[in-house]
Amino acid sequence: MPATNQNEREQTSHQAPIDFSEYQRPSTGRSIWQLTNSLVPYIALMWYAIWVFDYSYWLALPAIVLAAGFLIRLFIIFHDCGHGSFFATQRANNILGRCMGLLTFAPFTYWNKSHARHHATSANLDKRGQGDVWMMTVEEYKAAPLKEKITYRLYRNPFVMFILGPIFIMFISNRVVRRKVDKREKMSVYLSNLGILAFVGTMCYLVGWKQFLLVQFPAVYLSTVVGVWLFYVQHQFEGVYWARQEEWDFQTASIDGGSFYALPRILHWFTGNIGYHHIHHLNSRIPNYYLPKAHSEAKELLTVPGIGIRKSLKSLTYRLWDETQNRLVGFRRARVTSDR
């Protein structure tokens, strides 16, 4: 029988279903205001960076970094549209989601379908590979051939995951259909590529290719780096829940399989409250601006400790899932090596 993880959270209070239906009705006014206070500053900062580029790229860099912060916020709007939670009608969500996809370089339908699979299978050891971070168990790693061990170690290397990974996402995984998907998903990728090509081509013609690419690429790249980190830390943390299909429970997987990333208020704002990830997984129809309120009301029912920035850095040491201890461990802790 698996040993109990001393950091494992109490799950007895998660048995009763939690009703968040009052929060899943989007406010058109709040949605439009969030779109405005995210999109307008982003466009202004990008135009400023392009304008000041001729004088000094160093003067443009602060604006590019800040624009990347607003682009993260725009990606969360894109994300909410995919869940059908940003506006009341699916048509409005689809239109805005596709427009945001041009700015974030993400194919709306293709990304949305993959993300929906992630929500349906999160923390399920028997359904890994559905829009999640590649994770092997200790026993799987021990039994893997040397080539697979090396590939896995490279994948899990922070430099590869957070520095090279975003480039792979931007230019390959979001641009090329690499698995069997339906026609709508394929068309989403193809049309997204054409739309991005038209957008980039038009901007290069209007402001110059050098100015635009040296402003646009860093902004998208930096926002993607942060996005990869957020996605990683939201499901790779101390005390996280994973289970085999026969024991897997959606509510427990949502609450204990998704972190509450306790960020400073300004960072919650820029990241669209995605740090309240446990609430988001419990009910993905809640607009991001209602997540803090839902968390506040439910915190007496949920035993979910917050993970601060300093504590979240420990997630970088986690590499494998140990089924005997029900916890994430590093390669050394698991007493396995790539040549074993």
Please say if the pLDDT value at position 250 is more than 70: yes
Contact 315, 234 (CB under 8 A): no
Sign of CA dihedral 288, 126, 239, 169: negative
At 320 the three-state DSSP class reads strand
Q: Give the pLDDT of residue 20.
A: 81
Distant-in-sequence, close-in-space partners of 248: CB < 8 Å, separation ≥ 6: 123, 124, 125, 126
Burial of 90 by CB count in 10 Å (0-12 exposed, 13-18 middle, 19+ buried)? exposed
| Locus of tokens 């058109």 | 28
d(CA 102, CA 109): 12
How many Å from the N-terminal Cα to the C-terminal Cα in the chain?
26
Helix (H, G, I), strand (E, B) or coil at 61: helix
pTM for this model (two decimals): 0.90
- Under DSSP, the state recorded for 237 is S
| The predicted structure's pLDDT at residue 339 | 43
Q: What pLDDT is stored for residue 17 in this prediction?
A: 62
Q: What is the pLDDT of residues 67-102, one digit of tens each?
A: 999 999 999 999 999 999 999 999 999 999 999 999
* Euclidean distance between CA atoms 113 and 181, whole angstroms: 9
Alpha-carbon distances, residue 254 vs 12, 250, 259, 297, 302 (angstroms): 14, 6, 9, 17, 11
**Residue range 129-159, pLDDT digits in tens:** 878 899 999 999 999 999 999 999 999 999 9
Domain ranges of the chain: 26-329
